[in-house]
Amino acid sequence: MKRFLVILLFLCGPALAVQPDEVLPDPAQEARAREISQGLRCLVCQNENIDDSNASLARDLRLLVRERITAGDSDDEVVAYLVDRYGEFVLLRPTTSGWNWLLWAAGPLLFLFAMGLGGVYIRSRSRAEAPSEAVLSPEEQARLRDILDDNR
Amino acid sequence: MINELGHFALILAALVACVQAVVPMIGAHKRWPGWMAVAEPAATAQFLLTLLSFAALMHAFIVSDFSLRLVVANSHSAKPLLYKISGVWGNHEGSMLLWVLILALFGALAAWFGGNLPATLRARVLGVQAMVGVAFFAFILFTSNPFLRMAVPPFDGQDLNPLLQDPGLAFHPPFLYLGYVGLSLCFSFAAAALIEGRVDAAWARWVRPWTLLSWVFLTIGIALGSWWAYYELGWGGFWFWDPVENASFMPWLLAAALLHSAIVVEKREALKSWTILLAILAFGFSLIGTFIVRSGVLTSVHAFATDPERGVFILAILVIFTGGALTLYAARAGTMQAKGVFGVVSRESALVANNILLAVACFVVFVGTLWPLVAEMLFDRKLSVGAPFFDMAFTPFMVLLGLILPVGALLGWKRGKMGRALRQLVPGFGLAVAVAGLVWTMQTGRSLLGPVGLFLGTWLVAGAATDLLTRVGRSRDYARLLRLPRADWGKAVAHGGLGVTMAGIAGLMAWQIEDIRAADLNTPYTVGAFEFELLGVQRVQGPNWFADRGEVSVRRDGAEIAHLYPEKRTYPVARMPTTEAAIHGGFWRDIYVVIGDAQQGGGWTVRVYLKPLANWIWGGAILMAIGGALSLSDRRFRVAAGARKAVPAGEVPAE
């Protein structure tokens, strides 16, 4: 296992990802390719996008992305092409299909809920009666006396 | 022999922790002073024994004792001394030992500086702290013992992962752990307060310094880790939204929230039960982080022990402690009644908003981190949640936080005047709009990210300055600034630091320039406003690596401004390459050069990045940490801590 991890690191390791020979001649197309690559996951790495990864698979995917772009695909078509072949695991930005809406909505929903709760709390505080001066419990009275006696 | 002593000390420390977890708790319940008094010497003993054990392990690493399995797996005789030392915590077992050492340290600190706590509260705090300790001692001794021997010691070790052989990363884990584990003390205070059934201003005053201390350490630890990623990983990324990074970020967000809500408890006796909940959750998230790093349930670049058995053990610790504390909370939270009354427009309300935003932001990170797991288990979908999601889902809350922060910081307690706060902020707002406008017209890509980020940054820094200047008032007596309480300076510096970090992140992400090419020797080329020339590449030899070292000249308008030496290293023992980027740091931008492989037609792959405002990211983090430290050094905290000692000393002559 350890050996395997070392090999994985070796493959995906921090080195040069995009090589000069991969770069497309048209700067606009290249910029699109970079943009798309940054949203696609390197499948054999751990949480790296193919733009940053040094793995040979990532290189293949980068070349594939560029091939589709030069073939005239739109950005969405390129991504769809890759999802068809590698599954939605390849997407670093999950879709909103199925239960995934919950992932996207979780933050805003909780925010609205918390704002409501916070609002109710603040209103209740602003209408609350100011408490009368805090009254000490008998033990605290005794302790206060002790302290005052000590000081005398 | 020394190793066995270390092992033995660890077992003894575990036993002392058992005593400390039981005796003071009973003592506090029955009001037996003798039993409660056990806590302090026990905490000291537990710390010293753990320290002894840690020192023994460090000794084994320094002298390269290859009869220890851990040393064989993570060290090498040719490794520089610094990395032999940092190798102690560069692995699962050793880092757990560091974890319990810090846990024991915080327990001992609470015992030493907790002299002014009520006896029962102190006994309970130390008791709960020791319970956490017992769980982690058991975890180390039963599943991850660092003192296991080899039957046949080899001649040399397998070396530490070369990526970890770096000064930034040598100190990253200790700071991070000081933060993570410091939150255990807040947890202990919360649990003890729940058992006592009493939360008041005094309680908040005791908890705040510990929260602040943990938060400062977490800030430094996270910043170090991010800085390391920036210069070591070879393309200058500083944050990857990796599960393990998120694991350290979530406690940071909650600790920041706790820091602010504890102020409300201290000054206004409101938000009590929420503050207790935050204290429990903050440490709970530290435990979740430990679980994520060490169980391997989520794939991550950092995960260093992927062992289901250990994962289950930590999951059990997590469930028992957060579950237990939350049960206690459910039973007792109702008894805590808020006393302070405040208007809708007030500092209190602003701090409630701060807490909502930080907690929701933390929740977004939490959901995003665990969603792949949830989706796979419940919906049978294998999917990824990466940086694009977090950028979109997390950022809005931070933008909102940045927008309201300067206003909230200027509002008065109880009943603030919105109009007055806004009037005071008019110059700052104007300045921020001007900066954003200037940037908008100057930039070429026309993305909103840069202007918005710089607007927020300027707005926050100007807001912090306004906050200080309003203290001078109409008197124009600027010497008063120096006499302000340090907590006020701390607040302004930390808030300004947040602004600097926000501006840095936006600038780097919006305006980075990248150039990748096969550069021929002695052929100059231009990137941005600079001219680069690869002068030569040499093979060089280090203590436990060899490297191809390029020599790159950087010129601007014909004048050389930097001579850079990027390296591509190979560590033969670990059989791993690393890139050592050469960075010419500047206030406005970094020039970041990386060298790659030799090309077939001659020349080398060279990557050049111009990274605007890169240093602001960590500069802001350092400012935040300094702000926290300034607050921590405020006289009011010290008075509270030293109150008890001062009184008898002053009394002696009077008698």
Q: Do B235 and A126 touch (CB under 8 A)?
A: no
- B200, closest residue in chain A (CA to CA): A134
Q: Do A47 and B300 touch (CB under 8 A)?
A: yes
- From chain B, the residues in CB contact with A20 under 8 A are 516-518, 599, 605
> Mind spelling out the 3-state secondary structure of B502-551?
HHHHHHHHHHCEEEEEEECCCCCEEECCEEEEEEEEEEEECCCCEEEEEE
Q: Do B389 and A93 touch (CB under 8 A)?
A: yes
- B244, closest residue in chain A (CA to CA): A47
| pLDDT recorded at residue A9 | 43
Q: How many CA atoms lie within 13 A of B506 on its CB side?
A: 25
- From chain A, the residues in CB contact with B306 under 8 A are 1
Q: Residue B637 — pLDDT band, cuts 50, 70, 90?
A: low
B567 against B637, higher pLDDT: B567
Paired sense of beta strands B576-580 and B582-584, if any: unpaired
Nearest Cβ partner of B360 from A99, A111, A131?
A111
State the count of interchain CB pairs (< 8 A) between A and B: 157
- A120, closest residue in chain B (CA to CA): B344
Nearest Cβ partner of A107 from B161, B364, B596?
B364
ipTM exceeds 0.90, yes or no: no
| B619, B500 Cβ separation under 8 angstroms | yes
Render pLDDT for B307-343 as a digit per residue (tens, 0 to 9). Answer: 677 888 888 999 999 999 999 999 988 887 777 788 8
Instruction: Write out the two tokens for B33.
Output: 């002073």
Using CA atoms, how far apart are residues B526 and B28, in angstroms rounded to an integer? 73
- A109, closest residue in chain B (CA to CA): B360
Q: Residue B107 — pLDDT band, cuts 50, 70, 90?
A: very high
Using CA atoms, how far apart are residues B395 and B389, in angstroms rounded to an integer? 10
Q: Residue B1 — pLDDT band, cuts 50, 70, 90?
A: confident
- From chain A, the residues in CB contact with B392 under 8 A are 93
CA distance B233 to chain A (A): 5
Q: Do A125 and B605 touch (CB under 8 A)?
A: no
Render pLDDT for B114-155 as a digit per residue (tens, 0 to 9). Answer: 888 889 999 999 999 999 999 999 999 998 899 999 888 888
Using CA atoms, how far apart are residues B69 and B57, in angstroms rounded to an integer? 11
Interface residue of B92, B158, B360 to substitute, partner A, most A CBs within 10 Å: B360
| pLDDT recorded at residue B576 | 76
- From chain B, the residues in CB contact with A103 under 8 A are 367-368, 371, 385, 389
Q: Do B356 and A115 touch (CB under 8 A)?
A: yes
Nearest Cβ partner of B384 from A6, A41, A129?
A41
Q: Do A14 and B233 touch (CB under 8 A)?
A: yes
Using CA atoms, how far apart are residues B240 and B388, in angstroms rounded to an integer? 10
Least confident stretch, A124-138, B449-463, B468-482, B591-605 = A124-138
Nearest Cβ partner of A94 from B383, B394, B651?
B383
- From chain A, the residues in CB contact with B234 under 8 A are 14-16
- A124, closest residue in chain B (CA to CA): B341
Render pLDDT for B418-449 as a digit per residue (tens, 0 to 9). Answer: 888 888 899 999 999 999 988 888 877 667 88
Using CA atoms, how far apart are residues B649 and B633, in angstroms rounded to an integer? 22
CA distance B103 to chain A (A): 30
Nearest Cβ partner of A15 from B343, B385, B579?
B579
Q: Do A6 and B575 touch (CB under 8 A)?
A: yes
Q: Look at residue B635 and tell me whether its pLDDT is greater than 80.
A: no
Q: How far is CA B52 from CA A8, A46, B59, B75, B544, in A?
A: 37, 37, 10, 21, 30
CA distance A69 to chain B (A): 20
Angle between helices B272-295 and B167-196 (to 10 degrees): 140
Using CA atoms, how far apart are residues B355 and B254, in angstroms rounded to an integer? 8
Instruction: Tell me the three state secondary structure of residue B384.
Output: coil
Q: Look at residue B516 and tell me whether its pLDDT is greater than 60.
A: yes
pTM of the model: 0.90
Interface residue of B245, B293, B306, B341 to substitute, partner A, most A CBs within 10 Å: B341
| pLDDT recorded at residue B638 | 60
| A123, A115 Cβ separation under 8 angstroms | no
Q: What is the mean pLDDT of residues B20-48?
A: 93
Paired sense of beta strands B546-556 and B559-564, if any: antiparallel
User: Where do the structural domains in chain A lie, given as residue ranges?
Assistant: 2-90
Q: Which CATH architecture has domain A2-90?
A: Orthogonal Bundle (1.10)
Q: Do A21 and B359 touch (CB under 8 A)?
A: no
Chain centroid, CA B516 distance in Å: 34
Nearest Cα residue to A65 out of A37, A25, A85: A37
Which phi and psi angles does B169 have, rounded to 5°? Answer: -85, -20
Structural Rg of chain A based on CA atoms:
30
Q: Look at residue B160 and tell me whether its pLDDT is greater than 50.
A: yes
Nearest Cβ partner of A110 from B360, B578, B651?
B360
% of chain B beyond a pLDDT of 90: 52
Q: How far is CA B156 from CA B72, B93, B639, in A?
A: 7, 20, 54
% of chain B beyond a pLDDT of 70: 94
Instruction: Tell me the three state secondary structure of residue B171.
Output: helix
Instruction: Tell me the three state secondary structure of residue B632.
Output: helix
Interface residue of A1, A92, A113 to substitute, partner B, most B CBs within 10 Å: A92
Render pLDDT for B584-623 as a digit per residue (tens, 0 to 9). Answer: 988 999 999 998 888 887 788 888 999 999 999 999 999 9
The most confident of B406-410, B416-420, B509-513, by mean pLDDT: B406-410
- From chain A, the residues in CB contact with B518 under 8 A are 20-21
Question: Can you name the residues that pair with B527 across neighbouring β-strands?
Answer: B530
Q: Where are the alpha helices (DSSP H) in B269-379?
A: 272-295, 308-332, 347-378
Nearest Cα residue to B369 out of B550, B214, B248, B268: B248
- From chain B, the residues in CB contact with A123 under 8 A are 344
- The strand order across the sheet containing B589-598 reads B513-519, B604-612, B589-598, B582-584
| pLDDT recorded at residue B294 | 77
- B298, closest residue in chain A (CA to CA): A46
B108 against A11, higher pLDDT: B108
Q: Do B270 and A114 touch (CB under 8 A)?
A: no
- From chain A, the residues in CB contact with B388 under 8 A are 38-39, 92-93
| pLDDT recorded at residue A133 | 57
Using CA atoms, how far apart are residues B100 and B79, in angstroms rounded to an integer? 26
Render pLDDT for A10-58 as a digit per residue (tens, 0 to 9). Answer: 444 444 567 777 888 888 888 888 889 888 988 877 778 888 887 788 8
Write down the residue that tokens 């020192």 correspond to. B55
Instruction: Tell me the three state secondary structure of residue B114.
Output: coil
- From chain B, the residues in CB contact with A130 under 8 A are 341
Instruction: Tell me the three state secondary structure of residue B260.
Output: helix
Using CA atoms, how far apart are residues B563 and A116, in angstroms rounded to an integer? 58
Nearest Cβ partner of B342 from A94, A107, A125?
A125
